[in-house]
A and B are shown apart, each in its own frame.
Chain A
Amino acid sequence: MVPLSWYLLLSALLFAVGLYAVMARRNLIGMLMGLELMLNAINLTLIAFWRYLHPYNLGFQALVIFVLVVAASEAAVGLALILAVFRLRETEHVDELNLLRW
């Protein structure tokens, strides 16, 4: 069998790559994609823990469902916001959206 730590390391890596995308991609949609990767990493961790350590604890699975809900909501609202921003400012590059400084 595959050791649990492999799954954990894999999801950590996925999370880190997602974080990189969020922090470094210039496009708002790209950032959003990174965010989705991070959420995926979380779900993977939860499922792996559930399978290996507590196969009878439903809490992990329920939590995965709620993470899914949040991810879907976040994508919908996030993209709606991006569309609104794009309509207003004609750009979706984060480094051009700094009206909130100071």
Chain B
Amino acid sequence: MTLDSMAWLILVPPVLSFWLIVLFFNRWKRLSHGIAIGAAFLSFLLAQGIVVAGLRMGGERLGEEPIHSLLPWLPTGTTVLSLGVWIDPLTVALLFFVSITVLAIFVYSVGYMHGDPKYSRFFAFISLFAFGMFGLVVADDLLMLFIFWEIMGLCSYLLIGFWYHKPSAYRAAVKAFLTTRIGDVFMLLGIAYLYSQTGTLSYDVLFRDHAVLHQLATTPSVIGGLSVAALAGLLLFAGTVGKSAQFPLHVWLPDAMEGPTPVSAMIHAATMVSAGVYLVIRAFPLLSVGLESAVGTPPMLAMGLIGAFTAFFAATIAVAQNDIKRVLAYSTISQLGYMIAALGVGAYVAAAFHLVAHAFFKALLFLGSGSVIVGMHHHQDMMEMGGLRKKMPITFWTFVAGGFALSGFPIITAGFWSKDEILAQAFHAAQSGSWLGWYVYLLLALGALLTAFYTMRQISLTFLGEPRSEHAEHAHETPWTMTVPLIVLAFFALTFGFVGVPEDFPLLGKLFGGNFFHHFVGATLMEEEAPLPLNWVPLTISIVFALGGLFLGWWIYGRKPLKAGERDPLERALGKLHTVLKNKYYVDEFYNWAFIQPTIRLGAWVYKWIDRGVIDGILHTAAAAAMASGRLFGWVDRVVINGGVDSAARGIGRMGDEGRRGLQTGLVQDYIFILAVFVILFVLVYFVRGAGL
């Protein structure tokens, strides 16, 4: 079997399983999960086969001659629209983690969804989702990517609203669908723009042909000052902002936690949101073409600004959350921000590396939290937990592994290596005199500290101390279908990082083959940039920040665990420990005020308006402000951004209401008339332009 036919075959089992379950086996629960897992397993085998073959070929060869297979789809006269598969080192990396996480999550779902009345339907939907993700990964042009992108959007909608009898769930589903749609429209515009300029959407031409790239970079676009490449890149990036939940379109992701936990793990942590990052990584040659100043091209500038801001901003919010899944949701947003910001400073490989590593540990964390939720009989408030370490040992240890990876615990976790590479790259950019580099580095480093802190807070609140509620008293370990995926993922969360150890790292660099990942994935771009030499400054800083954050979290929450009834840790912090917190948080405080002052002011104002009681805390202690500001961002999030969107919608509604309602007559022939007018206009414009009149 050739590699390209294997790539095609990856797509078949999931979609087949979807149709089989939907059409025939809806009634048989065991059969449907059997089919779905079987399909996932087949895809897994095929994908790993490709990974092995790709590794054997080596990055350089695969990067130079990617496996490319075309299937003509719609021949129209002289042009042919094709579907195709495209396997290059980046695809291989993606296939590696997507197939593993998908399989793990499928198996996990058997335990998590046990007893749900819509069990079969759930497996059908996640099969369709897996189809979308695999298709997106192996797609060979932007059109096919967009098609699968939208298939995943649909699945996301279906799965977030899976328990549609809950009003919050279906509202979240609609919100997710609409919010991502904003990005998608821009993205489609970008794709259409590229097509109109080049007549093709194939990766092979758009991202690899230097002549085309150069031409795109030098042609001015319709918007003054931007080249075609820059404008198209910005539009594509808008799609990423929606899909990967970056500021200001991140609002849907926390709400999406209304879906079942495997969905949160799969869609909203491991794979779908990764698709957005994958898009920008894939399009990086286009985004970075014409790089002149140290600050980067307009799309890179946008990515750096938005990514770093999001990374920090979301981390602060995560500090103040009590829902076990919401903490993880904000953490996901924050980590995606890391990857985007890395691309903003040109760290192509580091972004891909963190993408893979993050997928492993975030899937693990979500599945772990799902395990906790099942053990707790579907209660998600961390204030009601505590002491689960003894009741759920496997969940605890794997969760700790994931948490440490997320925090970047030195040496033994994947998160450390990947995050460190991003930070080193950002630091490098900063050293070479780019203000964007400083901006990105500082925000990301602070974000790393916060990340470690909230992770430890979460672990402590959930697992340490004594049970704080009835449910926690009676918690139990979950069945093997749930724990085995946890263990598998924990293995990867800990060890995956060793494929990307910097070459000159003492001892380990030689031991693990000298930054294998960098060379492999870096070969995707035809001119590979050499990995940075090891710089001890950012490395030390990130180790200190990671460990410091973890220690801080332990100091506050783990050293003297909460007792039952002490509901709000923030109030507790404010009341008794505020002096300690004050000293510890002084630096964060400063950076908060220095970098996102306007947001905080706005937040403070909103906060005061909503809840007078807590504002005093800010006035009393700056340390508390750091904690509170996280919460403020939560409010900003909900009130300013959601409120803004809502009021805009309401405004449009009112506009329609108070206007003559002229267009909406409900009579089909009026619509046809409007259609005819526009068709005639377009033809006219096209013809006049074509004739050069």
Contact = CB atoms under 8 A, between A and B. Distances in A.
Interface stretch (A3-11, A67-75, A92-100): A92-100
Given A23-B673, A94-B667, A97-B668, A102 B76 contact: no
B52 to A, nearest CB: 41
A18 to B, nearest CB: 12
A76 B680 CA distance: 29
Contacts of A54: 77
Interface in B642-693: 656-657, 661, 664-669, 672-673, 676
Given A19-B676, A102-B656, A102-B664, A94 B669 contact: yes
A63 B76 contact: yes
Nearest to B79: A59
Contacts of B666: 97-102
Contacts of B657: 102
Given A59-B75, A63-B76, A22 B661 contact: no
A22 B76 contact: no
A98 B667 contact: yes
A63 B77 CA distance: 9
A94 B689 CA distance: 37
Contact of B661 (A60, A63, A102): A102
Contacts of A63: 76
Contacts of B665: 98, 101
Interface string B68-110: 0000000111000000000000000000000000000000000
A23 B669 contact: yes
Interface string A58-88: 0110110000000000000000000000000
Contacts of B673: 23
Interface string B525-561: 0000000000000000000000000000000000000
Interface in A1-60: 19, 22-24, 31, 54, 57, 59-60
A59 B664 contact: no
Interface string B380-423: 00000000000000000000000000000000000000000000
B684 to A, nearest CB: 14
Contacts of B672: 22-23
Contacts of B75: 59, 62
B669 A60 contact: no
Nearest to B76: A59
A60 B676 CA distance: 25
A23 B657 CA distance: 27
Nearest to A96: B667
B31 to A, nearest CB: 34
Nearest to B80: A59
A22 B256 CA distance: 44
A99 to B, nearest CB: 6
A23 B77 contact: no
A19 B677 CA distance: 12
Contacts of A102: 656-657, 661, 664, 666
A83 B9 CA distance: 44
B667 A60 contact: no
Interface string B15-44: 000000000000000000000000000000
A60 B77 contact: yes
A101 B676 contact: no
Given A102-B656, A102-B661, A57 B77 contact: yes
B101 to A, nearest CB: 40
A63 B672 CA distance: 25
A57 B77 CA distance: 7
B664 A101 contact: yes
Contacts of B676: 19, 23
B674 to A, nearest CB: 11
A18 B529 CA distance: 62
Nearest to A100: B666
A102 B665 CA distance: 7
Given A23-B676, A57-B77, A60-B77, A94 B664 contact: no
Nearest to B77: A59
A98 B665 CA distance: 7
User: B656, B666, B668 — which one has the most chain A CB atoms within 10 A of its CB?
Assistant: B668
A41 B76 CA distance: 19
B567 to A, nearest CB: 48
A19 B656 CA distance: 29
A97 B666 CA distance: 8
A57 B664 CA distance: 44
Contact of A101 (B76, B661, B669): B661
A5 B673 CA distance: 27
A22 B666 CA distance: 16
B667 A95 contact: yes
B119 to A, nearest CB: 34
A92 B374 CA distance: 55
A59 B676 CA distance: 27
Nearest to A22: B672
Contacts of B77: 54, 57, 59-60
A91 B216 CA distance: 56
Nearest to A62: B75
B214 to A, nearest CB: 33
Complex A-B, nearest 5 residue pairs according to Cβ-Cβ distance, in ascending order? A101-B666, A98-B666, A100-B666, A59-B77, A98-B667
15 contacts: A19-B676, A23-B669, A23-B672, A24-B669, A59-B77, A62-B75, A63-B76, A94-B669, A97-B668, A100-B666, A101-B661, A101-B664, A101-B666, A102-B656, A102-B666
Interface of A: 19, 22-24, 31, 54, 57, 59-60, 62-63, 94-95, 97-102
Given A95-B667, A101-B665, 15 more contacts: A22-B669, A23-B669, A23-B672, A23-B673, A54-B77, A60-B77, A94-B667, A94-B669, A95-B669, A97-B667, A100-B664, A100-B666, A101-B666, A102-B661, A102-B666
